[in-house]
């Protein structure tokens, strides 16, 4: 519950977006460093043998992960978590929007969760939640915006698909993430890199 994302806040994000402009690839690494994108969990295959190598950890099915308590969610205040793992582009958010939404849980069916990586080119949508339109974005890279009341469908922009929605289950006051609908940016498989 105390997971802190090392990411810049709104104003800083805008500065970064401005600074990287469109020399994107040139400064891609810098951008990633400055926006603090995560580590990959590595495991050692064939330990102790000549074929030993480090490869990304793989999980075979979506974990059931406790991510928040319903009673602690405040209206229009996103809460951040990682899912389905701690790997790249796993940063996600859960928000209580006060309006009924596709896939929403809770009494008002208004609590939804989404991955933060823009499905266009992977820009971070951190801190871009807009209470008036119940949307995420605009992505600082190319301005894509997503409708969180409608399964993360693209409102306007260049993404190749909806924002991946984190599937939620409510157990008493506990909210569990149980799966993801849609492929996370950057991965070839949600669970296997």
Partner 1 sequence: MSTPYYIPDENVPLPPADAEVITTACDYCIVACGYKVYRWPVKGGKNGGAMADQNAFGEDFPVQALGPWVAPNQHNIVLHDGEPHHVVIIPDKAAEAVNVNGDSSLRGGCIAQKCYNPETPTRDRLKSPMMRIYGMLQPVTWDFALDIAAEMAKYVIAKFGANAYGVKSYSYQYIENTYAIRKYALRSVNTANFANHDAPSNVGATPGFRDAGFDNFGPSYQDWKDAETLLICGTDPYETKTIMFTQWIMPAIQGGQKAIFMVPRKTAGVAFAEQNGGLWLDVNPGTDLLLVNAIARVIVENGWQDKEWIEKWVNDKWGSSSGFGQGTRNTPWQWRTTWGKFQTKGFDDWSKWLLGQDEFALDAASEVTGVDAAKIKLAAEMMAKPKEDGSRPKTSIMIEKGFYWSNNTGNTEAIAALGITVGAGGRPGQMIGRAGGHQRGGVSGGSYPRNKSPMKLPGRRRRALDTDTWTVSGHTRMAHVIGTTWIQSMLGSQQLSQRFHELTRGNPHQIQSINRDKILETLKARVDSGGMVIVNQDIYLVDPIGNQFADIIFPAATWGEEDFLRANGERRVRLYQKFYDAPGEAKPDWWIISQLAKKMGFDGYDWETSNDVAEEAAKFTRGSRKDFNMVKIAAHREGKTLHEKFREMGTNGIQAPVYMNADGSLMGTVRLHDTTRKLPADGPTAANMFNKKLTHFNSQTGKCNIQKSPWSLFSDYWEWMKPKGDELWCTSGRANERWQSGFDDTRRPYIVQRWPDNWVEINEDDAAARGIESGDMVLLSNDRVPALKDIILGVEGSDYSFAGQMANGNVELSEASVTAVAIVTRAVKKGVMYMDFLHTSQPANALAGRVVDWISGNYNYKMGVAKVTKIGESPYKHSFRSMSFAPRDIVI
Query: What would the two tokens of residue 73 be?
Result: 């969610």
d(CA 114, CA 162) in angstroms, rounded, equals 10
- Least Cα distance to 103 among 39, 175, 49, 192 occurs for 175
d(CA 165, CA 154) in angstroms, rounded, equals 12
* Minimum CB–partner distance for residue 49 and partner 1 (Å): 18
Interface pick for partner 1 out of 52, 75, 130, 169 (rule CB under 8 A): 130
Does position 187 interact with partner 1 (CB under 8 A)? The reply is: yes
Interface pick for partner 1 out of 7, 68, 73, 87 (rule CB under 8 A): 87
DSSP 87: S
- Least Cα distance to 169 among 98, 38, 85, 65 occurs for 65
Does position 28 interact with partner 1 (CB under 8 A)? The reply is: yes
* Minimum CB–partner distance for residue 55 and partner 1 (Å): 7
Query: What would the two tokens of residue 30 be?
Result: 């810098």
The residues in 47-86 that bind partner 1, with binding defined as CB under 8 A, are 55-56
Does position 17 interact with partner 1 (CB under 8 A)? The reply is: yes
d(CA 57, CA 192) in angstroms, rounded, equals 8
Interface pick for partner 1 out of 70, 143, 167, 178 (rule CB under 8 A): 143
d(CA 54, CA 57) in angstroms, rounded, equals 9
Does position 185 interact with partner 1 (CB under 8 A)? The reply is: yes
By CB under 8 A, name the binding residues for partner 1: 13-14, 17-18, 21-22, 24-26, 28-29, 31-32, 37, 40, 55-56, 87-89, 101-103, 117, 119-124, 128, 130, 133-135, 137-138, 140-143, 145, 147, 149-151, 153-162, 164, 180-190, 192-193
């Amino acid at each position: 519950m105390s997971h802190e994302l090392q990411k810049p806040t709104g104003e800083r994000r805008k500065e970064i977006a401005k600074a990287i402009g469109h020399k994107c690839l040139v400064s891609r690494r810098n951008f990633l460093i400055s926006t603090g994108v995560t580590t990959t969990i590595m495991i050692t295959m064939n330990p102790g043998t000549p074929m030993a190598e480090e490869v990304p950890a793989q999980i075979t099915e979506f974990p059931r992960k406790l991510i928040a308590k319903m009673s602690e969610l405040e209206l229009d205040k996103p809460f951040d978590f990682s899912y389905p793992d701690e790997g790249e582009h796993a940063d996600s958010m859960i928000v209580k929007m006060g309006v009924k939404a596709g896939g929403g849980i809770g009494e008002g069916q208004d609590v939804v969760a989404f991955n933060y990586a823009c499905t266009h080119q992977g820009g971070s949508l951190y801190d871009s939640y807009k209470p008036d339109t119940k949307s995420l974005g605009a992505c600082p890279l190319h301005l894509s915006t997503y409708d969180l009341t409608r399964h993360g469908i693209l409102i306007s922009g260049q993404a190749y698909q909806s924002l991946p929605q984190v599937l939620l289950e409510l157990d008493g006051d506990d909210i569990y993430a149980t799966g993801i609908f849609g492929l996370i940016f950057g991965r070839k498989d949600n669970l296997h890199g």
